[in-house]
């Protein structure tokens, strides 16, 4: 039978302690570096610029080659090409203004031209065209009269010369408007449409007054149509004198 000997743990610690300590003292001391842990895919590592032992290289301003720049001269100033506009010279007879030409509708000449075309159409019994032309003429003269009246009101008390000129133009435009209205009423009567002629004739009487020539003609048309009973002016009473 073998003999068993109990060795206490404390004795074992004392047995191994001296050689272990001696071995540790003989090992060279080397710096401990941590292993870089692998970064997961898709993760960009950001290193701190102030870690010990690392040198941060700053970018230096390296001399660059100077590129010669071409001198760019400003574009030459060219004069704007404007259409030739004649200077306003009242004494120059060659200067024409747009509204004074025959092609302009917003003018006395344009309205009168429409009246002449309407008369030619009525003589050819083209009443629809005559009505259309006369309606346009009435509208033109009515606009002209209103515009000149507005200018008269604006210049009254400021420049009496211009105010009087605009008043006269407003009166002339109104007379031409009433003339176109009268001829339009005559065309409606030729169309056998007295219901359209009567309102126009009454407008003329209100505008021209019964004492003026065009007002008398308008009332005469009303009497011939049977809209009024008494003629105007009244026929002079005939006096039969009998001598004894």
Model confidence over 118-129: pLDDT tens digits? 999 999 999 999
Domain hosting residue 184, numbered range: 103-192
Geometric angle at alpha carbon 163, from 158 and 164, rounded to 5°: 135
Other CB atoms within 10 A of residue 103 CB: 10
Distances (CA, A) of 54 to 29, 33, 39: 22, 14, 21
In a domain, 58, yes or no: no
What's the whole-number mean pLDDT along residues 180-207?
96
Other CB atoms within 10 A of residue 214 CB: 17
pTM, full prediction: 0.58
Give the pLDDT confidence of 188-198 residue by residue, as tens digits.
999 999 999 99
In a domain, 200, yes or no: no
In a domain, 199, yes or no: no
- Banded model confidence at residue 236, pLDDT cuts 50, 70, 90: low
In the chain, how many domains are there?
Answer: 1
Geometric angle at alpha carbon 18, from 13 and 21, rounded to 5°: 105
Distance CA 148, CA 53 (A): 97
In a domain, 123, yes or no: yes
Per the model's pLDDT, the better-predicted residue between 239 and 140 turns out to be: 140
In a domain, 131, yes or no: yes
Instruction: Tell me the three state secondary structure of residue 9.
Output: helix
């Amino acid at each position: 039978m073998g003999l068993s000997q109990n060795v206490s743990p404390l004795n074992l610690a004392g047995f191994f302690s001296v050689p272990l300590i001696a071995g540790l003292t003989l090992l060279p001391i080397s710096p401990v570096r941590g292993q870089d842990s692998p970064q997961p895919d898709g993760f960009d590592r950001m290193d701190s610029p102030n870690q010990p032992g690392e040198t941060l290289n700053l970018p230096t301003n390296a001399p660059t080659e100077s590129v010669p720049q071409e001198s760019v001269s400003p574009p030459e100033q060219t004069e704007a090409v404007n259409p030739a506009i004649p200077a306003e010279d009242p004494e120059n007879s060659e200067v024409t203004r747009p509204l004074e030409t025959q092609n302009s509708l917003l003018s006395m000449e344009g309205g009168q031209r429409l009246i002449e075309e309407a008369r030619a159409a009525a003589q050819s019994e083209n009443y629809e065209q005559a009505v259309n032309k006369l309606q346009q003429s009435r509208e033109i003269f009515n606009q002209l009269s209103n515009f000149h009246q507005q200018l008269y009101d604006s210049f009254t008390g400021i420049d009496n010369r211009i105010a009087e000129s605009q008043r006269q133009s407003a009166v002339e435009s109104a007379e031409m408007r009433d003339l176109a209205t009268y001829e339009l009423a005559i065309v409606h009567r030729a169309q056998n449409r007295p219901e359209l002629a009567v309102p126009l004739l009454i407008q003329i009487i209100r505008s021209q007054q019964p004492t003026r020539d065009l007002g008398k003609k308008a009332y005469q048309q009303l009497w011939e149509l049977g809209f009024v009973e008494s003629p105007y002016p009244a026929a002079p009473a005939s006096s039969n004198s009998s001598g004894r």
